[in-house]
A = this chain, B = another copy of it.
Amino acid sequence: MMDQLIGDPAITEAMRRIRDEGDLAELVARAAWTVIAEPGDAVAGTLIAELGAVEALEHALARRAGGVPATTVDADGLSARRALADARKRWQPRADPHAVRAAVLGAHDVGATLLIPGDEQWPTSLDDLGVNAPSGLWIRGRRASLVAAPRVAIVGARASSGYGEHVAAELAGDLAATGAVIVSGGAYGIDGAAHRAALGVGGATIAFLAGGVDRPYPAGHQHLLRQIVDDGAVVSELPCGAAPTKWRFLARNRLIAALAHATVVVEAGWRSGSLNTAGHAAALGRPLGAVPGPVTSASSAGCHRLLREYDAHCVTSAAEVRELWGVLPAPVERGDLIDPERIRLLDAMSSRSRVSETELARRAGLSPDRVRTLLGLLDLEGEVLRDDRGWRRTSAPGG
């Protein structure tokens, strides 16, 4: 199988056309892994981590199962052997050089390339996924956007409300205008509003697809995805030609969460797929934000669930999103420090009539000495005025 891949001029030539540098065997092996294994295949990830992509592929596709390397069996030998034997059975039906060739040629047709671990523009934050990390990424657009920082995921329901789309656009526009890369899933609703707002301010945005990057999905976002290719990147771990499936949407969500420095869910129903993205962000220890909304809106129920069950941060502005990755807010004048005696003395005064110090002491429940001291301070601040008949406030109460 490996000989058929590396020796196939159609594959190697196509690979050199989409990548003019890099280890050819490694590139072809990783392209093959994206074809053979479904996203997040932990057995594939373990094998690749231990043997490298090329040797792992030889092991995976050998007609007869060879010896399993010692390190894969040390903890629980029997189940590791069985997992590998089971994995071979699911990889074999897809082990077709024609499929790998079609994937690389398909990428070439749409101007996509393959990024693999070790590349300068490989986003190492994906390595936090461990054995569930992707074996490679197919990408159309600007590779540099994958490693630009900060990156923030703005995700949410397809069935969004006008409120949700407005907030998604406000947040993504502000963040993108100030240099953040907006990561999302290219879907209708919140995702689309976030991508569009980023493009609208001349910012960068990345769309992770659940199928091949040659398949604009959803179809109604063909034009939007084309713009994202121009000004950002459209990325997938699935090879060209692969259809998006329910499983691949779920698996794709882990890439959004892992790539971004923080994830914000803008609007989500009780069972929205974006809660799955949020769950991945939380599991990875990435900061997670949720935008609240009316409790009477089903479109915000998922966000409130994140606040209640996932300990998500409540975010209401771009500044609060920036705080998620450690940008401290400008100091806010709290204005709620309470000086009881000062309040009580002002409570006892009027802006219309004069009151004596003795009467102020009685009204405010303060000693005459304290009243005199406070009046002196308030006088300096211009809050009170004195004349022969007593003290009054300079402005009406209520502030």
Contact = CB atoms under 8 A, between A and B. Distances in A.
Interface of A: 36-38, 40-41, 86-94, 163, 166-167, 245-248, 250, 271, 275-276, 291-296, 300-301, 304, 307-308, 313-314, 316-317, 320, 335-336, 338, 340, 343-344, 346-348, 358, 361-362, 364-370, 397
Given A247-B340, A292-B304, 10 more contacts: A38-B340, A90-B370, A93-B358, A93-B362, A94-B362, A163-B296, A245-B343, A276-B336, A292-B294, A292-B300
Contacts of A87: 367
Given A246-B346, A358-B93, A365-B37, A307 B314 contact: yes
A238 to B, nearest CB: 11
- Residue among A163, A247, A248 with the highest chain B CB neighbour number at 10 A: A247
A32 to B, nearest CB: 13
B163 A370 contact: no
The 9 closest A-B pairs by CB, nearest first: A89-B367, A292-B292, A245-B347, A38-B365, A93-B362, A295-B316, A307-B314, A90-B367, A247-B344
- Residue among A94, A295, A338, A366 with the highest chain B CB neighbour number at 10 A: A295
Nearest to A342: B247
B308 A307 contact: no
A398 to B, nearest CB: 9
Nearest to A273: B336
Contacts of A90: 361, 365-367, 370
Contacts of A370: 86, 89-90
A274 B36 CA distance: 59
A245 B364 CA distance: 10
Contacts of A365: 36-38, 41, 90-91, 94
Interface of A is mostly: helix
Contacts of A369: 86, 89
Contacts of A367: 86-90, 92-93
Contact of A246 (B92, B94, B300, B397): B397
A398 B167 CA distance: 28
A362 to B, nearest CB: 4
A391 to B, nearest CB: 15
Contacts of A292: 292-295, 300, 304, 307, 314
Contacts of A348: 245
A166 B248 CA distance: 41
Contacts of A295: 167, 291-293, 316-317
A368 B93 CA distance: 8
A347 B251 CA distance: 13
Contact of A368 (B89, B296, B317): B89
Given A296-B167, A348-B245, A250 B343 contact: yes
18 contacts: A37-B365, A86-B367, A86-B370, A87-B367, A90-B365, A90-B367, A91-B365, A94-B365, A245-B348, A246-B346, A247-B344, A250-B343, A271-B336, A292-B304, A292-B314, A294-B294, A307-B307, A308-B313
Nearest to A398: B246
A365 B247 CA distance: 11
A314 B365 CA distance: 39
A343 B93 contact: no
Nearest to A338: B250
A312 to B, nearest CB: 9
B343 A246 contact: yes
Contacts of A94: 362, 365
A268 B336 CA distance: 14
A36 B367 CA distance: 12
